[in-house]
Structure 1
């Protein structure tokens, strides 16, 4: 059964690991990778990715991407959202901290930030406006 507009927005706002997919060009399947993201109902989705990464290059070329999040418990549920890139900005430590705080236990955040600053290189925030949604909850199956 499809989720209501409010249910799907709330589900996407929860801290799931998303599968990001973006067109990888002629003769290639889409690039699909796990990623952390941020979303508040009614707003844009944003991700933080390496400025020189293949993923970022493909997103720039395509001008759009999709995210899919799911769970198995207490019911099988998923939300997939696709839309255009509506902006990019340089990533900051504040962006990194926001995502790390969303996904990691509090005692792991500072260590992760130090690791990311030392190993990830320059990052970019990419904002996507959700335009197409697909969702379902299979209930107690």
Structure 2
């Protein structure tokens, strides 16, 4: 069953690791890679990546990308969202801290942020405006379990 707007936005706001997909050009399948993202219902989505990364080059060329997030429990649910890039800016230390705190245990954030800021090179934040959504809640795994045969 398709999710309501409120359900899909709330689901996307949860800290799932997304699969990012972007056009990779003629003769190539789309680039599809896992990525951290940030989203608040009703707003734009943002991701952080290296300035010189293939992701950044392909997103810049395409002008848009997709994210897909899913889960298996308590029910099988997914949200896919696609839209245009509306802004790209140099990443800040505060943004790195924000996205790291979304995904890492609190006691690991400071060490990760320190390491990443010093070692990952120049980063950019890419903002995408959600334009097209596909979503569904497919129920629980038990809904798909085969029925057991009764006594013979």
Normalising to structure 1: TM-score of the pair? Answer: 0.99
- Give 3-state SS (helix, strand or coil) of 1:108's partner: helix
Match of 2:36 in 1: 36
- The reply on whether 1:108 has 2:108 as its aligned counterpart is yes
Q: CA deviation at 1:118?
A: 2.2
Match of 1:56 in 2: 56
Match of 1:13 in 2: 13
Q: CA deviation at 1:35?
A: 0.4
- CA–CA distance in 2 between the matches of 1:139 and 1:21? 26
Q: CA deviation at 1:114?
A: 1.4
- Give 3-state SS (helix, strand or coil) of 1:112's partner: helix
- Give 3-state SS (helix, strand or coil) of 2:55's partner: helix
- CA–CA distance in 1 between the matches of 2:73 and 2:66? 23
Stretches of 4+ aligned residues off by more than 6 angstroms? none
Q: CA deviation at 1:122?
A: 0.2
Structure 2: which 5+ runs fail to align? 144-152
- CA–CA distance in 2 between the matches of 1:125 and 1:39? 13
Post-superposition CA distance 1:30-69 (Å, at most 9, x none): 0001000000000000000000001000000000000000
- Give 3-state SS (helix, strand or coil) of 1:41's partner: coil
Q: How does 1:55-94 map to 2 (within 5 A)?
A: 55-94=55-94
- CA–CA distance in 1 between the matches of 2:82 and 2:91? 22
- Give 3-state SS (helix, strand or coil) of 2:95's partner: helix
- CA–CA distance in 2 between the matches of 1:95 and 1:63? 22
Match of 1:123 in 2: 123
- CA–CA distance in 1 between the matches of 2:48 and 2:34? 12
The CA RMSD measured in Å over matched residues stands at: 0.6
